[in-house]
Amino acid sequence: MTAINAVHLDERLRGRDFLSLHDFSRAEIFYMLEVAQNLKAMQKAGRSHHVLEGKTLAMIFTKSSTRTRVSFEVGMYQLGGQALFLSSNDIQIGRGEPIRDTARVLSRFVDGIMIRTFDHQDVVELAKYADVPVINGLTDLLHPCQVLADLLTIIEHQGRTDGRKLTYIGDGNNMAHELMFGGAKAGMHVVICTPENYRPDPEIVRLATADALAEGGSITLCSDPLEAARGAHVLYTDVWASMGQEGEAEARAQAFQGFQINRQIMDVADPQAIVLHCLPAHRGEEITDEVLESPQSVVFDEAENRLHAQKAIMALMM
């Protein structure tokens, strides 16, 4: 790997928003991954990489978080900048200030905005009116920061993404959507296995399928977990009921019976398959404790890579 610094960072992504991996070319995504690898290597070697010295990131949270908050805050510190935590209780957006006003005010103060919220259109509007890069830390529709970290983890443990089969078992939610977008651009064969009534958004399936065809990959939907997992190189799952869906938890627990990554699923996957989970995990529901703690589980490497992937996003765009 070639060490990077502020002078050598390619400026092709400077000023761009990071709302979804669908918005970027394959070359741009792999450049982000290369920068993430370099930044990770520098951090592990104890080498300074203050490429954002003197810059500030505003972090808006209307959803609670462990990995997103800590990784962005620590990431900005390691890049030499500063992060400001802004919950909806701390700023006027939580008292009815229009998003477009918040966007224009924050743009006068900070160099970038990260937002983790419910409605994806709020992020789109924030990006429309902000004069600084906006990073999607998660919405109910998409989760691009997580999937960039996932791709980094797959490359580290599998050596490549092209031609790899990634099987996601669970809800057709924001993770399923962004895995289709990211996996498609990375040339993967992405299988999304959900109960019939919990399939992903058809428009995202359509867009991701077109991307996959262009990169030699594929998108497949199914409802048979064993068949979906057969020969998979990467197995992925998420909780059955996400934040904001607590009232549906009981109904979802019934609907998702059988949609669990367990030993039976592992036995039909590729012998060298790795297991991913965006966390937090509900052990005994979408994944067994046995699998989560097995040598094939790399979920904590994956969690760490949120830090390195997001540092690359911030360094390149801010």
Q: Is there a binding annotation on residue 238?
A: yes
Q: Is there a binding annotation on residue 222?
A: no
User: Which residue in 22, 69, 306, 308 is the catalytic one?
Assistant: 306
Q: Is there a binding annotation on residue 193?
A: no
User: Which residue in 49, 120, 164, 278 is the catalytic one?
Assistant: 278
Q: Is there a binding annotation on residue 174?
A: yes
Q: At what angle do helices 299-317 and 144-158 cross, to 10 degrees?
A: 120
Amino acid type, 98 = P
| Tokens read off for 276 | 């991913």
d(CA 20, CA 143): 7
Q: Is there a binding annotation on residue 111?
A: no
User: Which residue in 143, 177, 233, 277 is the catalytic one?
Assistant: 143
d(CA 282, CA 298): 16
User: Which residue in 238, 277, 308, 310 is the catalytic one?
Assistant: 238
* Nearest residue to 204 via CA among 125, 115, 143, 136: 143
Q: Is there a binding annotation on residue 180?
A: no
Q: Is there a binding annotation on residue 173?
A: no
Active site residue 69: no
Active site residue 146: yes
Q: Is there a binding annotation on residue 164?
A: no
Q: Is there a binding annotation on residue 158?
A: no
Active site residue 143: yes
Active site residue 116: yes
Q: Is there a binding annotation on residue 56?
A: no
CA angle 263, 268, 272 (to 5 degrees): 85
Active site residue 189: no
CA distances from 132 to 18, 52, 53, 275, 311 (A): 11, 14, 16, 36, 16
Compute CA 22 distance to the chain's CA centroid, rounded to the nearest angstrom: 12
Amino acid type, 85 = F
Q: Is there a binding annotation on residue 92?
A: yes
Active site residue 14: no
User: Which residue in 17, 37, 69, 146 is the catalytic one?
Assistant: 146
Q: Is there a binding annotation on residue 66?
A: yes
* Nearest residue to 84 via CA among 62, 96, 69, 102: 69
User: Which residue in 22, 49, 116, 252 is the catalytic one?
Assistant: 116
Annotated binding-site ranges for carbamoyl phosphate: 65-68, 92, 116, 143-146, 278-279, 306
Q: Which positions are catalytic? A: 116, 143, 146, 238, 278, 306
Annotated binding-site ranges for L-ornithine: 174, 238, 242-243
Annotated binding-site ranges: 65-68, 92, 116, 143-146, 174, 238, 242-243, 278-279, 306
